[in-house]
Chains A and B, each alone.
Chain A
Amino acid sequence: MAVSQFPEGDFRAPVPVINPGHSYRSITEKLTGMVLTPHTPLAWFVVMFVGLSLLMGLTMSLTYLLAKGIGIWGNNIPVGWAFDIINFVWWIGIGHAGTLISAILLLFKQDWRTSINRFAEAMTLFAVACAAIFPIFHTGRPWLAAYWLFPYPNTMTLWPNFRSPLIWDVFAVSTYAAVSAIFWFVGLIPDLATFRDRAESPVLKRVYGILALGWRGSARHWFRYETAYLLLAGLSAPLVLSVHTVVSFDFAVAVLPGWHATIFPPYFVAGAIYAGFAMVLTLAIPLRAMYKLHDYITMRHLENMAKVTLITGLVVVYGYLCEAFYGWYSGNEYERFMLKNRIYYGPYAWTYWMLMLCNFIVPQLLWSKRLRRNLAVVFTVVMFVNVGMWLERFVIIVTSLHRDFLPSSWQMYYPTVWDFMTLFGTIGLFLTLMFVFVRVLPMISIFEMRTLLPEATPKHHPEGEAH
């Protein structure tokens, strides 16, 4: 680490990002050794077993869905959207942290992001993959929805309805998925080259070689690589804000009390970052233990993420307050009723209070430095947040829909076993993809970790910072 410009003990002084005592060699060996080894930790098998079992459930439920129709779920009239869209928004929200960490923190030169950005990006991709299931499969005729939602030239000269927020969704989510995938892959290239060079099996050499796209590590490669990566980061940064903004339009554009609110875009983005960081922590804490990555994902990382979680959580709670305030302040009888129904006299009021517990009360534990450094506590808190963010969407979607304008159309919504199978099935898909990734690709960026070593920085570098 470079000499600090701050005096000893100043809180502004940078804290080392990785623990001391590492060399280029030790980092490379540790991080490649995790993948290029015939030994797989037992825990990996356990998680894969759970993940694959749930994934089987997803396959089964989606097959049954295709055979019978949406009716296997609990959706009805008036509650046209339920678990399907809740799950969609939940997963999309989770998919926000990756790009935020990679792009925005990169642009802000937050070097601690290096230890976590790779698997956060992977998490983003997999979360978006889980989310993408729903816009297709929640429709009555998915075999048509799969392509009718895209503007393709056709003999009927029919275009999608560009006024519909669902079409904006299609563009926002597909753009986000594409850019995130490219960003992630570009970031992987130097490490894939490392794998190619270190792999012993000719097959692996070949596979990683193809994926490394001929990377030789020349200065020209590095120059172009850095430029491209920065450009992609610049491209992704606005997407972090735009995707959930557009998703929130699905609701904000509608006339329904509880949906029709201008606060939704920032409130959804904050919620997404909150959910994303909670999910990164949910993954980081067990992975760190499983692969003994304490030197790379240090307490500083976890604390920083906990702090971001706490702050975005407070932003989200501010959103709840605003929603409630404007519901009352509007003076609109439907808005006011929606609020009362949501908070105290509706049959789903308990979900609102569960949400408050999960998203507001429990995360306040993170104010305490002692608790923030206790990983069992942090893990418990972020699990609450994961549940809370799901409940938030339940409250927004189901509670608003089940009692709208005409009391005669008020009905209850009850999920079926297939709703739960699909929800847990996507969790299975997510776990499976995540753990396959961990097994075959470097979950921590090797070359970027190397740049964090003191020797990576020339002594005469004025800033003393890695990039």
Chain B
Amino acid sequence: MNLSDIRTRLAGLEGRSYWRSLEELSDTPEFHDYVQREFPYQASEFTDPAGRRQFLKLMGASLALAGVSACTRQPPEKLVPYVTQPEEIVPGRPLFFATAMPHGGLASPLLAENHMGRPTKLEGNPEHPASLGATDVLAQASVLTLYDPDRSRAILNRGELKTWATFTAALQVALGPMRTTGGAGFRLLTEPISSPSTIDQIEALLTTFPQAKWHQWDPVYGAVQGGAPAAHPIYRFDRADVIVALDADFLGFGSAAVRYAKDFSSRRRMGTPEDALNRLYAVEPVLTITGSNADHRLAIKSRDVRGVATALAAAVGAPGASGTASADTAKFVAAVADDLKAHRGKSVVVAGDTQPASVHALARAMNDVLGNTGATVTYTAPIVASPLDGAASLAELTRDMAAGSVDVLLIIGSNPVFTAPADLDFKTALDKVKTRVHLGLYDDETAEQCHWHIPEAHYLESWGDVRAFDGTVSLIQPLIAPLYDGRSAIEVLASANGTGGQTTMDLVKGYWTKAFGGQTKTAWTLHDRQGRAFASVDQFWRHALHDGFVSSTSWYEGAPPQALAAPAAQPAPAARTTDTGMEIVFRPDPYILDGRNANNGWLQELPRPLSKVTWDNVAYISARTAERLGVPVSRSGNQNQPVLEIKYQGRSAKLPAWVMPGTADDVVVVLLGGGRLKAGRVGHDAGHNVFGLRGSNAMWFDGGAEVSKTAETYPVYSTQNHFVMEDRHAVRVVELDAFKKNPKAVEELGPERPSYAESLYPEREYKSYKWGMAIDLNACTGCSACIVACVAENNIPVVGKTQVGRSREMHWLRVDTYFEGDPGSPSGTYNQPIPCMQCETAPCEPVCPVAATVHSDEGLNDMVYNRCVGTRYCSNNCPYKVRRFNFMLYQDFYTPELKPQRNPDVTIRSRGVMEKCTYCVQRINHARIDAKTDGRTIRDGEIKTACEQVCPADAIVFGDLNDANSRVVKLKAQERNYGLLEELGTRPRTSYLAKVKNTNPALRES
């Protein structure tokens, strides 16, 4: 029975055309028999008296003979308890394995928590220089993709199920004739790749087929405009006093952001008012996480960034740079240049990935002339080995395909049919390729257009290696056997190369065995962290797998940078872009990216940083542009947004408008990633497809866009609709010099705190532990990784767009954003993570009629799900509104694939129950058990809440307030410490350390 037969049958049906199973659809006699026997084992015999008698006789005999059957051989079953307990497995305790997630071709190093053989939660690898224990949103959410029931499960050939053997045979048939011809018609299309073993495999393939070509396309990480930068910069923000970001979101974009955020925030954390703060200047067209942390921010069009960079380079005396700043940026440029010159060797200029090579060259020239190169930034050869300019590479491939010169196309991981630039018409060209093979996690738009689709193994299911942004080789080891028979890229490549049949582990380990013997093209010097050489390849392999990385390969740790090409001359900006008119800026959705994560419910529902929009991609415009277009600027609740029609280069698309403070005027920022045509149950119909606008000559920005408001509206739901603080000082912000003069400045910002001694009630004593948390708002970047870490740790359900629209999202932790000043150009952007405050005198506790929320002896505000009847009074009385209610049955109790993901230590909540942050009480209890076993008290830092553990900025610190030496006590003793709404007398256990802005006196207003 194949798909076309089924289609024919369906077309012939009248009336009822839905079906329960493929068996029913195939309408075979076996199926009729099966349906008739709803209870297949003998049940239907009961309808017939003779049969029933027979049945009872047989049953009686079976019972009588049941004892005899003990002598027969039972069929083997795999669900057996351990006879010999594996040494390291303690039931109920997870194991942690080091692995890494490929992220734009680079590594996000991880420790995967494994409960009885199933990965449930990912943490950062604390020993890996690219993580230091922290992770980001995408890594946290990737565990859900592993269990996604919509992932592709079978090898398909034109829609028919096939086996791996059939595929490899077919591949050999297609490639066989080329072995003699050099493979002129063979093309390989991948995403950016840094994996040494995969690169080795590709190189081997290109040796076999010298005429074959390797192309790269990644609309997010592999797309450049105006040429690829010649060098790969590695920054040391911990050493920089002054940072200038030229359209660079180094705190929020890419896998390096985790380490960069850690380094950056290490210079924002003030122990005393005397501590030196760094100062960040950002120049960008749209507010990013980096921009929201900047002390000074200049919102200008993307195309004007080069002008600012040139003027700045000229001002700091970079050779060859000449130019003056425009009138509106002159003051800014002059002040920044002075600041840079005052911090030679201690400053850094960062150019963004969306800017052309010329801006990168300018930034590098500035760093060179300021003496920063070598101190705060190192330039190395690119880490990814694939072609860097994805748009050019894909354009070349499309040209060849259209010319009919491509016979076999192997697409690995990429989804070009959906994401290719519109002007290339990739889909039409693809039709001319004789054999098209697609390897991907999903049976997506590209898979649909290919002859063969191979399900890709998730990285948690496969072996591999990948390099981090600092060059560290990180090993990927599987945490679980492939759930859906997926294959990894290296396996497919080996098979194309005629060296198939090996396991993925053998392929990866094989490379490193060769590398150990010095037989690889890249020469690796392998030694452990103490610099000792390994005795054998197995020792090296075990060591590296245990650590998750090859320790001698990090440039942070002294590995020599790879040979670097000479600095490129400053090329002129790409001539094919327009410099006039309204600017269109393309940005990937922060979480969905180009749509590849569209079927991940955690990411869809995670409020996008700063806008808090969920489930949709929108077009950001500034308040002034909105006024000009007639789009309402304010919004009091979740409502429909006007839809904009964006016309650009004769193409047009419609996208709902979103007024985003901090967007440059006359810029429309188009977020990619929505409107996937074939994404799965979650991603289907989420957002709008805007790839139709993007052209291959302007990947990131271009002028000449026409934007108009249409009469249509579209519901866009966000989790926050009011971004003004209303003089309430939820986030307390002080200037550095004001704070130095008056250390009480933070306290004076808030209303008077009631004296706790005035209470009529006796003071409650906490004799054992007294848990508390401090959140440093100066360190927090607002990246929202804490939210998704909390979701993963605490089994928080996804509620869907409609429910978010009703303001019923379930996130226990939220990150609030407030803007200060004019909505057109805000003078400040503040992020504030809000978990439960665990108030000592909690307003929620006395009002619960059934005592379902009670105070523990350690000061936790415990929620007893079993006792909760759901009056919601506690939520009404919570001044912080951190309680979340299961208005409906939000948790998925029925999808079997999703069950293994859940944290077995946390209750799955059902309908009608209130829930909220518990300070990860399950982690506290684990630590308590450990401490009791050892006969000691819990050590400071032994418990990390999920939000604390994930935080790249170390902004969240949890600990025991009864321990005078704990980090949290020291933080709370700081002058910056304040309690949110403490004037209400709630005595919150979670407190905040105020934000201190380090503005440049030369740039202050008046």
Contact = CB atoms under 8 A, between A and B. Distances in A.
Interface stretch (A22-30, A76-84, A199-207, A441-449): A76-84
Contact of A160 (B817, B850, B880): B850
Contacts of A411: 637-638, 721, 807
B846 interface: yes
Contact of B727 (A144, A161, A333): A333
Interface string B847-890: 11111000000000000000111111101110111011111110
Given A80-B885, A408-B730, A412-B636, A254 B914 contact: no
Contacts of B803: 71
A160 B849 contact: yes
Contact of A164 (B637, B728, B872, B873): B873
A83 B721 CA distance: 23
Given A70-B912, A77-B875, A164 B869 contact: no
B816 A408 contact: yes
Interface in B216-253: none
B814 interface: yes
**Interface centre among B724, B728, B834, by most A CB within 10 Å?**
B728
A139 B870 contact: yes
A167 B808 CA distance: 26
B638 A164 contact: no
A142 B803 CA distance: 22
Contacts of B873: 80-81, 164, 166, 250, 254
Interface string B722-755: 1111111010000000000000000000010000
B869 A161 contact: no
A407 B637 CA distance: 12
B850 A70 contact: no
A401 B637 CA distance: 14
Contact of B867 (A77, A140, A158, A406): A158
B981 interface: yes
A170 B880 CA distance: 28
A160 B885 contact: no
Interface residues of A, number: 52
A408 B834 contact: yes
B968 to A, nearest CB: 23
Q: Chain A: interface secondary structure?
A: loop
Nearest to A348: B636
Nearest to A416: B806
B782 to A, nearest CB: 13
Contacts of A138: 871
Nearest to B636: A347
A407 B980 CA distance: 13
Q: Chain B: interface secondary structure?
A: loop
A148 interface: yes
Interface residues of B, number: 59
Given A69-B911, A145-B869, A166-B873, A158 B881 contact: no
B881 A78 contact: yes
Contacts of B720: 408-409
Nearest to A401: B876
B242 to A, nearest CB: 32
B637 A347 contact: yes
A161 B854 CA distance: 10
Nearest to A138: B871
Interface string A127-138: 000000000001
Contact of B849 (A141, A149, A401): A149
Interface string B627-666: 0000000001111000000000000000000000000000
Contact of A407 (B722, B846, B880, B984): B722
A140 B850 contact: no
Contacts of B832: 408
Contact of B912 (A78, A81, A140, A160): A140
A124 interface: no
Nearest to A74: B806
B913 A333 contact: no
Nearest to A167: B849
B889 A69 contact: yes
B57 to A, nearest CB: 45
Contacts of B722: 403, 407-408, 410
Contacts of A141: 868-870, 911-913
Nearest to B866: A144
B808 A148 contact: no
Nearest to A84: B872
A75 interface: yes
Contacts of A158: 851, 867
B843 interface: yes
A72 B888 CA distance: 8
Contacts of A39: none
B556 interface: no
Given A68-B888, A69-B888, A406-B816, A333 B728 contact: yes
Interface string B965-986: 0000000000000001100100
Contact of B871 (A145, A163, A407): A145
B886 A140 contact: yes
Nearest to B729: A333
B769 interface: no
Contacts of B879: 255-256, 404-406
B818 A81 contact: no
Contacts of A149: 849-850, 869
A216 B808 CA distance: 62
A47 interface: no
A165 interface: yes
A253 B869 contact: no
A370 B850 CA distance: 54
B641 to A, nearest CB: 15
Nearest to A402: B637
Contact of A69 (B806, B886, B981): B886
B737 to A, nearest CB: 28
Contacts of A144: 869
A408 B722 CA distance: 6
A119 interface: no
Nearest to B810: A77
**Interface centre among A142, A405, A408, A411, by most B CB within 10 Å?**
A408
Nearest to A72: B888
Contacts of A164: 846-849, 873
A215 to B, nearest CB: 41
A170 B849 CA distance: 10
A163 B875 contact: no
A150 to B, nearest CB: 10
A390 to B, nearest CB: 19
B375 to A, nearest CB: 40
B868 A140 contact: yes
**Interface centre among B730, B884, B887, by most A CB within 10 Å?**
B887
A160 B721 CA distance: 37
A337 interface: yes
B847 A254 contact: yes
Nearest to B637: A412
A76 B867 CA distance: 21
A407 B728 CA distance: 9
Given A81-B876, A404-B879, A406-B881, A163 B869 contact: no
Interface string B881-914: 1011111110000000000000000000001111
Contacts of B883: 77
A148 B869 CA distance: 8
13 contacts: A68-B889, A69-B912, A80-B885, A139-B870, A140-B870, A140-B886, A149-B869, A403-B722, A405-B984, A406-B880, A406-B980, A407-B725, A411-B721
Given A140-B912, A410-B636, 16 more contacts: A75-B872, A75-B887, A76-B887, A77-B881, A77-B885, A80-B885, A139-B871, A140-B869, A141-B869, A333-B727, A337-B726, A406-B728, A406-B981, A409-B720, A411-B721, A412-B637
The 6 A-B residue pairs with the shortest CB-CB distance, nearest first, are: A140-B870, A140-B912, A412-B637, A71-B887, A80-B872, A71-B888
Interface of B: 636-639, 720-728, 730, 751, 803, 806-808, 814, 816-818, 832, 834, 843, 846-851, 867-873, 875-877, 879-881, 883-889, 911-914, 980-981, 984
